[in-house]
Structure 1
Amino acid sequence: MKFSRSKWLSFVFIFILATQTLAAGIAYAADEISKLVLNKNEIILQVGDTANLTATAIYVSGATETATVKADWSSGTADIASVYAGVVTAKKEGKAVITATYMGKTEIVNVTVTKKVKSLTKDKQSLDLRLDATYQLNIKAYYDDGTSEDVTSKADYTIDASSVVSVTNGLVRGQSPGSANVTIKYMNQSLTLPVDVEVVRRIDAKKSQVSLLTNGTEKVELIATYPDGTTSDVSEKAVWTTDKEKVADAIKGTIKGYGVGRATLTASYGTKSTTITVDVDNALKLDLNTQNLLLKKDATGTLTLTATYADASTEAEKTKDVSALAEWTSEDTDIVEVSGGKLIARSIGETVISAKYGEKTVKVIVDVEVPRRLVVDEDTLSLKTGDEHALTLRATYADGTTEIVTDRAEWTVDNDSVAYVTKGTVKTYKAGGVNVTATYGGKTTTTKVEVDIPTLIKPSKKIVNLQIGGSDQLKLTAIYKDGREEDVTGKAEWTTSSKEIAEVRSGDITGIDTGTATITAKYGTRTAVVQVSVGVLKSLTISQEKLVMKKGDAVTLTATALYTDETSKDATSDVIWTSSNPKAASVDAGKVKALASGEATLTAQLDTKTVTISVQVDMASDLTANVSSLVFDLNETRSIVLTATDSLGATRTVTNEAEWKTSSSTVATVAKGVVTPVARGKATIIAAYGGKSVTIPVEVGVIQALEADTTYISTKSGSHVQVKLTATLSDGTTKDVTSSATWKVSSYKLGTVSDGLFTATSSGKTTLTASFGGKTVSIPVEIDTLKYLKTDVVKVELREGKSAEVEALATYTDGSEFDVTKPALWTSSNILVADVKDGIIKATGKGTAKITVSYSNMKTTVVVTVTK
């Protein structure tokens, strides 16, 4: 029996399918499903709307699997709500039950389908209530089938200030003075109702400033003025606050002083407030018995603080010693400690003592043995090796007294290999220089010590000129501070900058090769240098410095070389001659030929010396135009006259002979000096003749400035903002170019613009750009920009199966606030612990989940903990 190829392939396919089915059956058998969880158990839809359901299988082992597509979905009433792969579609008004089945587990979802709400209306656009007054709203819904219904009791009501008003089934009650917004929502439609309760036009205190003694009181009237013009004392009804509760506070309009100082009280009633300044036991001025105090270390001192008051009964001033009542501080307690005005000097130094009483503070400087001046008896010393010398240090204090502090000062040297110092006595070890520093009371002074150091060393020659092989013996003399001189030629250290050019031994210099070198002699800390030249060319000169020639002329130049030994010779044939512009002028062995109009630089080079000569052939020495700039508008022309001056000083008009160019032919063109405008803008006219050129800036109808009447736009979706654009022309006049300018919005999804009228279409940030006459103005735009997003709670604890309602409040940059609980997007980090919809959190299982609220590009979170 033979198998065909197709039968054989079919057999293999059946075998593989059977193997996979068997393996799958074994896997499922080994991991039994525990339960099936749906993301929602109840849905409310309007006709035509859809909703997505998801199914998650949880196995006995703890593993999970997304089973939305694998599950069997069915609707008990498909004509009301149908379902396919978890997607529920609302067909008509009514109720339906959606069933999901997977691996023997079944879950249901109750679906309510309502008619689609087209719009909502309210019978009042705003309310103005008195305290405890009520008003019954009438809310009506209009459906897309043309019917309507009173939904006052069915609608949801939210309030942005629940302490001001309350709403129950549309009945609005005024609870406390203030303003609130009531948001009315039914299905997919919402309305906003502004409510004012007991709103006053203004409140005024009978006294704006009160002065009290400690524990004194005073009753202040607070007058509220209502919109109808009536007034009332609301001091006992208002909310009183203070910025300094330890100084003064108020209860029901009675102000009481508690402590020394100044406080600001704020009285608020409804949306209005006013302030009262309260001074308690406040002194006019504070005085210390001294402004500067000098103490010795470990000594004590006393400061007295006097407060001056205004005596209201006698209208005179009185004083009081408040040293014990003041707050005393020291900027540095390591130097001076202070308590109740009593001072203890702890260490040498200077600090500031402050005394504070009430709102006033005075300060005094305390000096503890701080020298104003520190002087050493010698600024410089010249010693020999092995010498000792004692220095004397004196300190002068603020009171003018002086004392010797040599033994108390700190002495240091910057090079102890040269000298050492102990209590002002300097001992030298070897030749060199050192700085001896004395420090006392924060002051320092320095003495410069020189050991066996001459004032200077002087060579017998500073410049030596030699030929190759020649030599010269120098003498080096050291001159000391005391005037004595010493030949230190053999003692000094001699070096050369180039052994290939010159050598030196004990001052004897020998020329090795052509060039220059520097010979350095060093003795102690002093150095001297000698410049050496060996067979060096000193200078190169040319017979003429400048040539002015005509085409066809010829001139012969002569080069002369001068050497360091003062000898000279004709070096014309030895020089290397070059021309920077051989087309204008050539040079050969000193002979120069003028070939064409232009300029050239001739270079003569011999050894390291170079000389340059400028050559002009038929060149203008100056070129001028009759105008320095041109400013005109379209449809006009201007003429430029060009004058050239030659090297002999003669002038002539070369307008027609010059070469004319324009930097922008799209703005202006030029021919033989006549400038013709083409378009608005700026250009530069260039005229060239005889190696010279002039430039004339040209402006054709140039816009100098472009300004918008606003620099920033903050608006909301659906709003319109008109921007006016003004152009300033080059002559200083202005005109409205709003309709002539080119307008653009950087993000077309956020808004549109036409003739400066900007229409916001979506939330976000963009830029409005206007262009005219080469100028551009950019205006930043913010639409529906939030300042922050917050929820009324940040943590929720629930038992499994329970639910909680959370509100989300959005605050915009203009300060307005809106309840966005419904329009916001609510998501759960773990729907097996907590599910959420429109702020309603349902606990589905034990654990912790994070609820995220998103609205207008901002997010905030609520942590949910679920227990059994």
Structure 2
Amino acid sequence: MKQKITYCFIVITLIQVLLPFSLLATPSLTSLQINEDIAAGPNRIYLTVTGIYSDGTSRLVSDPIWSTSNQTIATITYNGVLHFTGEGGALSVRVYKDGISTTKTLTVAPWPEKIKIETDLIESANPYRLMLLGEMSDGEERYLGPEDGVVWSTSNPFVAWVNTQGIVTFTGEEGYVNIRAVVKDLSVTDNVQALGGDNQTTAWRKGIKITEDIEYSKDPLELTLVAFLTDGTEEELDNSSADWSSSNKDVALVDSEGVLRFTGKPGFTTIEVVYGGYRYEEVVSVGRFIAKLSINQSLNYTTNWDGNSLPLSATVVYNDGSEYIQSSGLVWSIDNNKVAEITSDGILTLTGEVGTLTITAVGQTGSNNPAEDTLTVEVPDIDRPVPQRLFIDNNPLTSQQILAVKAYCIYSDGSLRDVSDKVAWTSGTSDTASVFRGNIYLTPIPGAVRINASYQGLNDQITGYNYGTTGNSERMYQLRIKQHGLPFSYKALKLTALVQMGDGNIKDVTSKVTWRSSQPLIALINNGVLTYTGRTGKTSITIQGYGFRDRLELEITPAQLQLQVERLEIKGELTKGAVQLKAIASYNDGTIRDVTTEAVWNTNNKNRAIVTSDGMVMFLDGFKAVEITASFAGQEASVVR
């Protein structure tokens, strides 16, 4: 007896221990899914639901709770039998089980319960529409069309033809014809015995065709449908009596009136028309072309642009969705040749004349309506600085065969601009030296060197002597000041004295020669360090040594003493969708000033990012490459992303 009690105790204990584990092992319901598609109609729909469980299994769920959001539209029984009342409106069907639910939502439209052809079917020389009247499930009556799923057919298209819109056309042939309309499970027919035309008819239809050669157009095209007859003549047909279709609606659409509209996308489509038992097809191809373009540059005018070449570009979107930035392949034009000139590939050059300029870029679209964009530039009537003095920076002394020099222009406002790319360079001694774009090329032939620069009526010349490289390496052949021209500066400037040896080598002898200023009240010179006093006038800087002498002529005008911007810098980075940039000007007297609101701001692609007049940059569609520039007092700075 004691052993039995012990055994029962062990069994009970095991049950108490294992029972919770068995309960924990039961998978829980995680989601529900209604299995059937729900479409409104007169027939009942038997719904079932599948449950997804925590162990990944799925199975039909028994005894769920069903409900509908509006019982005037549909009711559902406890076991999932859905019945529509015939009323229309929005409806949600919901199922619930163990704290989990799911819903299917649909819009219920009343359906026809009876249909009849209301128009009498009679033989007529003119096409006419058959009206199909439906008695709807909500008790209303209305006319039905293709959007309701109506399908029309004829038993004898050689006597009478009916299209998808219900337009019936009698051919003029004698015979019996039956016209039928079908909507889902409902159908209705009407028939007539056609007597045909008079017996004098000698030509009959033998086919149909579209008269136009269809090509892409941005505008709708109204197609012309004709029947060609047995006697070689043609008969124009009523477009609305035919059935029109396009095989590729991504390329083109055609309506029931035979009006063709292209989407603009490239590809092929077949335009098909059916009439009176005859069928005609035409394959249409739409190639790749420019669908839209927009000029990139903002072109807020700055005097820095006068006489400079500005490469323009446009953001071009093709009809296949691809997007490019391009200058070539477009037709560029301007409406005011006094203000600017433009090349065929979009290089704009402003003349400096005052006026309004409209720039136009055109891209071919494969139709009579090309894509184009225009941009208006206003060149205001402002005081423009006038070029006053041109100078080349260095003398032609080098141990190399190529020497790069620059040309600078001092303007009436005292500003200094690098015009090396704008001057006309010439050599007066082509046997010993040639020049191209500021690069002097020395020949092996000894002799005098003379290089000229011309810019807007101003001229400067540097001279020297090419001794070659065949002399005595210990002998000095010439002593020169390296600098040929200098502007005014508040800072001390370092000049350099050079000697050329017989073997062509150049040595710096700045500290070994005597320096002198002819007018110390204008400029002081000490061991090659030049300091302007701030007074106007002329002075000569002379060096002497080793039996040689050279001289540098300097002139300081009142305009040069004006405060000048030496450098412009943009503060800020293009790291956010909207960012405020600042323009900081550094002056030649060492001062610094914020000129953000005074600077002229531009973007090289306003289709990616725009910039306001006070330096606020806003990206339009993500962070794409763009350059923002600021111009002030003849200086320019930029920041790029």
Structure showing the higher strand proportion among its residues: 1
Higher relative contact order (CA 8 A, sep 6+): 2
TM surpasses 0.5: no
Larger C-alpha radius of gyration, 1 or 2? 1
The TM-score with structure 1 as length reference comes to: 0.19
The TM-score with structure 2 as length reference comes to: 0.24
